[in-house]
Homo-oligomer: A and B are copies of this chain.
Amino acid sequence: MNTATIKVHDATGTPRSSFPLDRWYVAAFSSDIRDKPVGRTLLNQKVVLFRTGNGQIAALEDRCCHRSLPLSCGTVEAEGVRCGYHGMLYAPSGQCLEIPGQERVPSKACVRPYHVAEKNQIVWIWMPSVAGAAPSEEPPVYSPHDDPRYRFGSGMYHYNSPWQLIHDNLLDLSHLGYVHLKTIGGDAHLHMNAAMKVTQDGDSVKVVRLMPGSTPPPTYRAAWPFGDKCDRWQEIVFRVSHLEIWTGAIEPGTDSIENPDRGGFHMRGFHGITPETETTCHYFWSMASNRHPERDDNFETVVEQTEFTFDEDRGVIEAQYRNMLQFGDRATWLDIHVDAGANRARRIVERLTTQSLA
C-alpha cells in the first residue's frame, strides 16, 4: 500500500497527477487570506492565493513569467498581485496588466489561473485534469461553520507524510485509547471492542461506532457536566477532499445516540486533507462545539485540546512514515479488524486517480 509514485509532467506542463483530479480541494480557510499573497503547493502545483480590491479570492500559478520570482513574494493591489522584483502586475485571470517602464504588454505575459470558490469560510480550489478547465460541480457544503449552535476554531498543519496516512488515522478512531489518553481517549479496550459499522455511498465512506456506558474523557468533562458515564458516538464521513467527523456524548438515558438530532455535547470536526506532493500534505482542520446552557463556555479548552490531540496524531503519523521509508519494500502491512473503513477509502482514491490519468 506504500505510495512511491513518480511525478511526471505531460507536454502541456500539467503534472500527471498521482491524485484524483477534476474536483475541489481545500486551499485555505477564509481567514488565512487577508492583505498579503499566500503561496502554497497543492497537488504538486505552486499556487498563490490573494484577494483583490472587491474581496474576491483569486489563485494563480506562483511564478512571475519574467524571472520566476514567486508572486507570493509580492504585494496585493486592487486589481491583482504585483511581483516584488520588477513590479509586473497580474489580474486574477492570469493576464499581466502592467510591465513598469514598458509600454506594450505582450499577450504571452501571463500565468496560469485557477478556479477558486469561498463557501462556509473555506477556500476551495478546483484541480482540473486539463489546464484551465472549468469546475463541473459546486464546491462542497460544510454547514457547521455557519450553524448558530456552534462556535469553531481552526488550524493548519504541514505534514511530512503522504495524505492517505491521515485518512487511515481518521477513519479508525480506535487509536484514541492508545494515542490520545490525555484528551479524548477514554477506555482503550472499550473503544477497540465497540462494534464498527462501515458503509459506502458512491465515493464516500461512513464509519460509525457507538460506545454507550463509556467513561467521559478529559476534554468531554471540561466542556460538559457529565457524570460517571456517558453514551458516546463517533460518526466519520470520508470524502476524497475532506472528512467530517461528528463525535459527542449524551448523559445516559437522556436521548438516543442513534438519533441524528440528538442533544448532548457535540464536537464536529472538519478535516480537509490536501496533498502537497506525493510525500507531504496540508491538513486544514476546524473544530465546532456547543455550550452547555448552565456551564461556563469552555470553548477555548475544547479547541486547545483538539490541537493537542492533533499534535499527537502528527507525531505518530510522521514517525510511521519515516519508518515506512526506512524499511522500504519490506514495510508490508497486515490488516486487522479496525482497517475496514480506511481500506475502502484507499480503494476509492486509487480508482479515482486511475480515472484522472485516463
A192 within 8 A of B: yes
* Contact of A337 with B102 at beta-carbon distance under 8 Å, contacts A70-B319, A178-B87 already known: yes
A323 within 8 A of B: yes
Interface size on A, residues (CB 8 A): 59
Asked whether, in the complex, the Cβ of A192 is within 8 Å of the Cβ of B101, the reply is yes
- CB-nearest residue of chain B relative to A177? B87
Selected interface stretch from A217-225, A263-271, A324-332: A324-332
Asked whether, in the complex, the Cβ of B336 is within 8 Å of the Cβ of A86, the reply is yes
Q: B residues within 8 A CB of A327?
A: 46, 63, 68
A182 within 8 A of B: no
Choose one: B13, B82, B101, B337; the contact of A337 (CB below 8 Å).
B101
**Could you give, for residues 65-100 of chain A, a 1 whenever the CB lies within 8 Å of some chain B CB and a 0 otherwise?**
111111001000000001111111000000000011
Q: B residues within 8 A CB of A179?
A: 84-85
* Contact of A320 with B193 at beta-carbon distance under 8 Å, contacts A87-B177, A101-B337 already known: no
Identical chains in the assembly: 3
Within 8 A of B (CB), among A93-143: 99-102, 106, 108-109
Asked whether, in the complex, the Cβ of A316 is within 8 Å of the Cβ of B73, the reply is yes
* Contact of A168 with B68 at beta-carbon distance under 8 Å, contacts A86-B174, A189-B100, A337-B101 already known: no
Within 8 A of B (CB), among A300-358: 315-316, 319-320, 323-324, 326-338
A62 within 8 A of B: yes
* Contact of A86 with B334 at beta-carbon distance under 8 Å, contacts A46-B327, A323-B70, A327-B63 already known: no
| CB of A315 to closest CB in B, whole Å | 8
Asked whether, in the complex, the Cβ of A68 is within 8 Å of the Cβ of B333, the reply is yes
Choose one: B68, B178, B334, B338; the contact of A324 (CB below 8 Å).
B68
Within 8 A of B (CB), among A145-183: 168, 172, 174-175, 177-179
Q: B residues within 8 A CB of A86?
A: 172, 174-175, 178, 192, 336, 338
* Contact of A329 with B9 at beta-carbon distance under 8 Å, contacts A69-B316, A102-B337, A337-B101 already known: yes
Report Cα–Cα, A178/B332, bound state, in Å: 51
Report Cα–Cα, A189/B102, bound state, in Å: 10
Asked whether, in the complex, the Cβ of A66 is within 8 Å of the Cβ of B336, the reply is yes
Interface residues of A (CB under 8 A from B): 9, 13, 41, 46, 62-63, 65-70, 73, 82-88, 99-102, 106, 108-109, 168, 172, 174-175, 177-179, 188-189, 191-194, 315-316, 319-320, 323-324, 326-338
Beyond the given A68-B327, A86-B178, could you list 14 further A-B residue pairs with CB under 8 A, ordered by the A residue number? Answer: A65-B332, A65-B333, A68-B333, A69-B320, A82-B178, A83-B178, A85-B178, A85-B316, A86-B336, A87-B177, A99-B336, A99-B337, A101-B193, A101-B338
A sample of 29 cross-chain residue pairs with beta-carbon separation below 8 angstroms, ordered by A number, consists of: A9-B330, A41-B326, A46-B326, A62-B323, A65-B334, A67-B168, A67-B320, A68-B320, A68-B323, A68-B324, A68-B331, A69-B319, A69-B323, A70-B320, A84-B178, A85-B320, A86-B338, A87-B177, A87-B192, A88-B336, A99-B337, A100-B189, A100-B193, A101-B192, A101-B193, A101-B194, A102-B192, A102-B337, A109-B334
